[in-house]
Structure 1
Amino acid sequence: MKFFLSIAKVIDAINTRIGKLVTWLTLIVVLVSASNAVIRKVFSMSSNAWLELQWYLFGAIFLLAAGYTFLLNEHVRVDALSQKFPRRVQIYIEILGVVFFLFPACMLIFWLSLPFFYESLVLHELSSNTGGLIRWPVKLLIPIGFFLLILAGFSHLIKCIGFLRGDCPDPQALPVGKTAEEALAEEILAQAQLDAERSTHNNATGKGR
């Protein structure tokens, strides 16, 4: 089991490195989108290539970070029923979900996306839009993204089995500390309270005058 857990660590390290690098694409998308909007409004100019670049980067964020999202247990779950069972039963349900749902779906999409990408590469497919980008790089994201997700599922499966054997911690355990959503909610609440205090202070100052 130690051998398989070491493989899981390598897979997790790969998805973590890629996931953290991909987060920077969000900033690039914002900069590209903002630049396009400013140039279009100020100079009345537009470029299909830059518009398509936004779509490509969004696709890269979604696909390449899927494995990292799964690793962090931040993906969408419909687990209202399974949460009522003991922890070990939940892990068994998790194993069944990975083996009979995650793997078949991801492997099918991965397999079907290979000729989809290869045909685009061989034909040097270009965008149908004037001045658009070549298509094969964005189509390559599909098999890469789902391959990373398959790896993440394999790592998760190893850790689930390891947990049942008592060889590793619970892979579904909630992280220590606040989640990203909780931290964001607190930040928004704190900013709203600060704005309310400033508004109250300004109103009081205005009445005093």
Structure 2
Amino acid sequence: MGRVADILDGINRGLALGLRWLAVAMVMVQFAIVVGRYVFGVNSIAVQESVLYLHATLFMLAAGYTLLVDKHVRVDVFYARASPGARRRIDIFGHAVLLLPSMAALLYWSWPSVRNSWRILEGPISVGGIEAVFLMKSLIPAFCILVILQSLAILIRLLRPGARA
């Protein structure tokens, strides 16, 4: 089972290697927007929306990696002072009872909207924008799946005999 967890980790690690370049692209595009608008008096709704698309892609697809490297936000006031065994139990409970069911629910309830968006090839958010809202909505199930896979990898490790927090 450890090999399965390693494979699941590898998915998010590999994806993160490519996604980090989206942050660079986002800064460069935003800089070009500012220079274009204030220096040359040129503006493009589609280019402005591209920053939104880059940000959404980066945020949604990197969530699994954030969980992998344990840099997500913890809202557990007892976790910091807990013993390793208690931390392990908190983590198991959090993944099995809170995270996995909530991701499954989000995936289930968002799927009709994503499917419909693809069916009609949903157009731009704003007039003159990028005609690919259906692609941005596809990030929702991708987010859910990547977080579910990472959560399963963490659970596999937590449930092994002798596992620590």
- Fold conserved (TM > 0.5)? yes
CA positional deviation for 1:83: 2.7
Aligned to 2:158: 160
Aligned to 1:104: 101
> Relative to structure 1, is the Cα distance of residues 102 and 42 closer, same or farther in structure 2, using a 3 angstrom cutoff?
same
Aligned to 1:142: 140
After TM superposition, list the pairs within 5 Å mapping 1:37-186 onto structure 2: 37-133=34-130, 134-162=132-160, 165-166=161-162, 170=164, 172=165
Moved over 6 A (4+): none
CA positional deviation for 1:131: 1.3
* Equivalent residue letter for 1:62: F
Alpha carbon RMSD of aligned pairs, Å? Answer: 1.2
Residue 33, structure 1, aligned to residue 30, structure 2? yes
Q: Secondary structure at the match of 1:43?
A: coil
- Of structures 1 and 2, the one scoring higher in RCO (CA 8 A, sep 6+) is 2
CA positional deviation for 1:57: 0.6
Q: Which stretches in structure 2 are left out of the alignment for 5+ residues?
A: none
Superimposed CA distance per residue, residues 49-100 of structure 1 (whole angstroms, 9 cap, x where no aligned partner): 1111100110111110000000000001123312323211210111011111
Number of corresponding residues? 164
Aligned to 1:192: none
Rounded to whole Å, the distance in 1 between the matches of 2:57 and 2:29 is 15
Aligned to 1:21: 18
Rounded to whole Å, the distance in 1 between the matches of 2:129 and 2:35 is 20
Q: Which has the larger radius of gyration?
A: 1
Q: Secondary structure at the match of 1:126?
A: coil
Contact persistence 2:63–2:143 (CA under 8 A): yes
